[in-house]
Amino acid sequence: MTKSQTIPATTADPTVAAGSAQFLAPVVIGLQALVVNGKQAHWNVRGANFIAIHELLDSVVTHAQDWSDTAAERIVALGLPIDARLSTVAEKAGKSAVRAGFTQWDVMVRDIIADIDAVLVDVKAAVDGLDEVDLTSQDVAIEIMRGLEKDRWFLVAHLAE
């Protein structure tokens, strides 16, 4: 006869888990919205800088997807679920500056910068709030902020004169 043993999913303090999820969940949703809108921008950007912006937007999307996964997995590792269903993300994505159709590269870059800035508001709130809750979760938020700010810089550089 085989014995089975139940292993708890996490040993995290429920207060720490709830606090971390409170700050990281909006980051996950915002990043998923950036993924959706970044792909929209990628497909519809037009103009003289097309190829550079088209390829850069793919990098922004890939990074946002990776960071979203990291933040979501942190929440789950602490023992809580994450709601990143399409309907949840759509609510956030609908507030995007990205336009529905073909758009000139400089306008599209400004739109994506505005979307990154919106995500950075939640990320900065996470960095600040997690300082008192869970330093490991704060590290996740800091890494996301560092990367988003770098992607933002790459986009802003295209607009510099």
Domain membership flag for residue 2: no
Question: Which pLDDT band holds residue 69 (cuts at 50, 70, 90)?
Answer: very high
The pTM of the whole model exceeds 0.85: yes
2-57: per-residue pLDDT in tens?
665 544 555 678 888 899 999 999 999 999 999 999 999 999 999 988 999 999 99
DSSP for residue 6 = -
- CA-to-CA dists, residue 28 to 22, 72, 84, 92, angstroms: 11, 6, 7, 11
The total number of structural domains that make up the chain: 1
Dump pLDDT digits (tens) for 82-134: 999 988 888 877 778 888 999 999 999 999 999 999 999 999 999 999 999 99
Identify whether 9 is part of a domain: no
- CATH code at position 152: 1.20.1260.10
